[in-house]
Amino acid sequence: MKFVVDCGILDAVVSVSRRTGLVSRVELCPVGAADRSGCSEVPRHLAGFAAEIADFVSSGGNERPSIEAVDLYLLSPFALKALRHIRDGIPPGAVATYGEVARAIGRPGAARAVGRVMARNPFPLVFPCHRVVRANGGVGGFQGGESQEAVSLKTLLLANEGVVLDIPGM
């Protein structure tokens, strides 16, 4: 099952596990670009989560969505450690590099592994991976890609939090 949350500057497509009833994935897309075929109304037990996602965006990243509604068992221990760090250690309006995150979680030299975790993050906004950028000051990829749309979404989220990067290249 899936449903779409209108977040004002973007849409969030939320997938829900039929087995657990927990959120199994959140995919962000430009306003109006969400594939709404097969979408349901927001389930009653996830109404608060849906509102929290929209509040995160409208507050410039200051209102954090709860992690209780997401299926954390989908994440490896390393991924969970990296994602918890970006959630708790990088405030709205700030960024960190992949290498800085690796060092902060006690894994210096694991910048590429952190990059893979960010690329595969199934819960953007809950774990705000858009706040992790390249060491050269570039935006880097988002949601597993470096397409113009992916980079535009990441840049939009950063700008929404007041971050403007000099982008020497994608």
One pLDDT digit (tens) per residue for the chain, 170 residues:
999 999 999 999 999 999 999 999 999 999 988 888 889 999 999 999 999 999 999 999 999 999 999 999 999 999 999 999 999 999 999 999 999 999 999 999 999 999 999 999 999 999 999 999 999 888 888 988 888 888 899 999 999 999 987 655 44
Q: What are the residues facing 142 on neighbouring strands?
A: 145
Delimit the domains of the chain by residue range: 2-58, 73-160
Q: Are 3 and 44 in contact (CB under 8 A)?
A: no
* pLDDT for 38: 86
- Among residues 7, 29, 39, 129, which one is catalytic? 129
DSSP state, 42? P
First vs last Cα of the chain: how many Å apart? Answer: 34
Look at the pTM and tell me if it is higher than 0.95: no
* pLDDT for 34: 87
* pLDDT for 167: 57
* pLDDT for 169: 47
Q: Are 163 and 95 in contact (CB under 8 A)?
A: yes
SS3 at position 152: helix
Write out the DSSP string of 65-123.
PPSTTB-GGGS-HHHHHHHHHHHHHS-TT--EEHHHHHHHTT-TT-HHHHHHHHHH-S-
Distance CA 161, CA 62 (A): 8
Q: Which fold has domain 73-160?
A: Arc Repressor Mutant, subunit A (1.10.10)
Of 86, 167, 83, 64, nearest to 131 by C-alpha is 86
Q: What are the residues facing 3 on neighbouring strands?
A: 14
* pLDDT for 26: 96
Backbone phi and psi for residue 165, each to the nearest 5 degrees, phi listed first: -105, 145
129 catalytic residue (yes or no): yes
